[in-house]
Amino acid sequence: MRGWGLTVYAVFFIAFIYGPVLILPLFSVNDSNFATFPMAGFTLRHYAGLWGQKPLLDALVNSLKIAAGVSVLATALAVPAAIAVTRHRFPGKPAVLSFMMLPLVIPSIVMAVALLVIVLRFLGIQLSLWTVAAGHVVICLPFCLSVLVSRLEGFDAALEEASRDLGCSPMQTFWRLTFPLAGPGIISSLLLGFIISFDEFVIAFFLTGTENTLPVYLYSQLRFPNSLPGTLALGSLILVASTALVVLAEVIRRRGVQSDNPGDL
């Protein structure tokens, strides 16, 4: 009886979390401009019509460019920070780590307003895709750092000590030992940073200029009923791609890390 109770609870929990999300691809193949039951029929014309919308494709390209650059920059900044946190002791280390993780707990709207004030009032920079990318680096850095810290803590630091004992310089130890062993974590960090930047809306909404990112463009199209089917279709594609990247990032991150948990991949 206890096992059945846990099973029922798990089913309701998954339905509560993912049910609203799964409605998105369901209505994306509905042969109607309105998301209502009963469905009018099955169609893929909403997906085919995406490629003829130039503003949408421009927004998609903008988001891909920003996400690619942000993931590389955030990971490049997170690698030395993760090495410092996991391999060295210094005064105020817990406080420094907590400060670097602060964007994880600050509401996005608060972070967006603060960045907007800094960009316009203090720096005097015009809003553009560059300001959006800078804001995304701020919010992606803690995620990349957490992935890399968990990876670097997953292998024996004595290997690095042995490398230095054998005459390798710190830089040689990094490129010949640390970097290859941390490779799965670095790839996972890149994928995770890409996903977070690509899907982020609030900071992009506040910091964007005349060029929109894809989430901002999709939000603007919700005011027009005729644009809803295309929005649902594109949202479904993003959902599938994001899920695949998250799973891939987690699989890569766990590769080569020993775990006693039988549920780990």
Among residues 239, 189, 175, 152, the alpha carbon closest in space to that of 70 is found at 189
User: What is the pLDDT averaged over residues 223-243?
Assistant: 75
Check whether residue 202 and residue 226 sit in a common domain.
yes
Do 1 and 103 fall within a single domain?
no
17 and 63 assigned to the same domain? no
Tell me the pLDDT tens digit for each residue of 234-259.
778 877 887 887 777 677 666 655 44
pLDDT at 140 over 60: yes
pLDDT in tens, 199-210: 888 999 999 888
What separation in angstroms does the CA of 177 have from each of 72, 148, 151, 165, 182? Answer: 21, 15, 14, 13, 9
Whether residue 239 lies inside any domain: the answer is yes
Please give the average per-residue pLDDT across 168-186, as a whole number.
76
Report the SS3 class of residue 42. strand
Q: What is the pLDDT of residue 265?
A: 42
Q: Which domain holds residue 23?
A: 1-43
pLDDT at 20: 73
Please check whether residue 49 lies inside any domain of the structure: no
Domain match, 61 and 99 both = yes
In a domain, 228, yes or no: yes
Judge if 114 and 36 occupy the same domain.
no
Count how many domains the chain has. Answer: 2
- pLDDT score recorded for residue 89: 76
What is the C-alpha to C-alpha distance for residues 193 and 225, in angstroms, rounded to an integer?
A: 33
Q: What is the pLDDT of residue 259?
A: 45
Backbone dihedral angles phi then psi of residue 155, each to the nearest 5 degrees = -125, 160
Does 37 share its domain with 147? no
> Does 1 score more than 60 pLDDT?
no
Same domain, 127 and 12: no
pLDDT digits (tens, 9 = 90+) for 57-80: 888 899 999 999 999 999 999 888
Residue at 93 is within a domain: yes
205 within some domain: yes
Express each pLDDT in 2-32 by its tens digit.
567 788 888 888 888 777 777 777 777 776 6
Q: Does 31 share its domain with 103? A: no
30: DSSP letter = B
* Average pLDDT for 155-175: 71
Whether residue 142 is predicted with pLDDT greater than 80 in this model: the reply is yes
Task: Identify which has the larger pLDDT, 36 or 125.
Answer: 125
pLDDT by residue (tens digit) across 76-133?
998 888 888 887 777 777 787 778 888 888 888 888 899 999 988 888 888 888 999 9
- For the chain, the average pLDDT equals 79
Q: What is the per-residue pLDDT for 69?
A: 93
Q: Does residue 180 fall inside a structural domain? A: yes
- Asked, for residue 265, whether it belongs to a domain, the answer is no
Task: Please say if the pLDDT value at position 222 is more than 70.
Answer: yes
Task: Give the pLDDT confidence score for residue 208 in this predicted structure.
Answer: 87
> Does 23 share its domain with 59?
no
24 and 101 in a single domain? The answer is: no
What CATH number is associated with residue 68? Answer: 1.10.3720.10
Examine the domain organization and report whether 18 and 73 are in the same domain. no
- Do 27 and 153 share a domain, yes or no? no
Cis? peptide before 38, omega within 30° of 0: yes
Please state, in angstroms and as integers, the Cα–Cα distance from residue 65 to each residue in 10, 134, 150, 159, 160, following that order. 39, 13, 28, 38, 36
